[in-house]
C-alpha cells in the first residue's frame, strides 16, 4: 500500500468508447451518435461511466495491492460527461479522494478505501 497520490491519464477517443461497447454489448446511442448526444446537450458522445470507473479501480489496485481484491471499496458519482478528445486525468489523493478531470471539467468524484 502507498500513501502517495496516484494518477493515470488516458486520452479519450471514440474508438475507446466503441471497443468498450463491443465487449459489454452496449447499444445506447449516447455513446455512438454525436448528433444525438449534442441534441441532448452534451459536447459529444459520452464515454461509458464504467469504463473510466475502471481507471479508478486500476489506481485502487495499485494503491492497496492484495487487500483491494478482498475488501476494496469505491464510491463514485459521474458529474459531467467525458467526450472524445478529452485528456482524462484520474487521481487518487493521499487521503483516498478520487476525481477524474478533463481539460474542460471535473467529470467524476468519489472515494476509495478498504472495508
Partner 1 sequence: MTRPSDVKPREGELPGALYKDWVIGQEFDALPFTITKDIVQEYMSVVNAEPENYVIDGRQAAPPNVVLVYMMAVMYRKYPPQQGGIMIGNTIEFHHPIWADEDTDVVGTGRLTDKYERKGLKYIKYDVEFKTPEGALLVAVNHTSAFPN
Per rule CB under 8 A, count of chain residues that contact partner 1: 43
41 binds partner 1 per the rule CB under 8 A: no
Query: Minimum Å distance from CB 101 to partner 1?
Result: 17
Contacts of residue 8, defined as CB under 8 A and 6 or more positions apart, other chains included, come to: 55, 58, 59, 89, 90
Please classify residue 22 by burial: count the beta carbons closer than 10 Å to its beta carbon, then call 0-12 exposed, 13-18 middle and 19+ buried: exposed
89 binds partner 1 per the rule CB under 8 A: no
45 binds partner 1 per the rule CB under 8 A: no
Residue selected from 19, 87, 97, 106 as contacting partner 1 according to rule CB under 8 A = 19
Measured CA to CA, the distance from residue 73 to residue 115 in angstroms comes to: 6
Residue selected from 5, 66, 94, 105 as contacting partner 1 according to rule CB under 8 A = 66
87 binds partner 1 per the rule CB under 8 A: no
- CA geometry: angle 65, 66, 69, nearest 5 deg: 105
**Which residues of the shown chain bind partner 1 in the complex (CB under 8 A)?**
8, 10, 16, 19-20, 22-30, 36, 40, 46, 48-51, 53-55, 57-59, 61-62, 65-66, 68-78, 115
Amino acid at each position: 500500500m502507498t500513501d502517495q497520490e496516484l494518477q493515470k491519464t488516458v486520452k479519450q477517443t471514440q474508438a475507446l468508447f466503441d471497443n468498450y461497447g463491443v465487449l459489454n454489448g452496449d447499444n445506447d446511442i449516447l455513446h455512438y451518435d454525436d448528433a444525438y448526444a449534442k441534441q441532448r446537450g452534451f459536447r459529444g458522445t459520452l464515454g461509458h461511466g464504467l469504463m473510466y470507473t475502471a481507471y479508478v479501480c486500476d489506481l485502487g489496485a495499485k494503491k492497496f495491492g492484495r487487500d483491494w481484491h478482498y475488501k476494496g471499496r469505491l464510491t463514485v458519482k459521474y458529474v459531467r460527461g467525458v467526450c472524445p478528445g478529452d485528456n482524462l486525468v484520474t487521481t487518487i489523493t493521499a487521503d483516498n479522494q478520487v476525481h477524474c478531470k478533463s481539460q474542460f471539467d471535473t467529470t467524476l468524484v468519489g472515494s476509495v478505501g478498504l472495508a
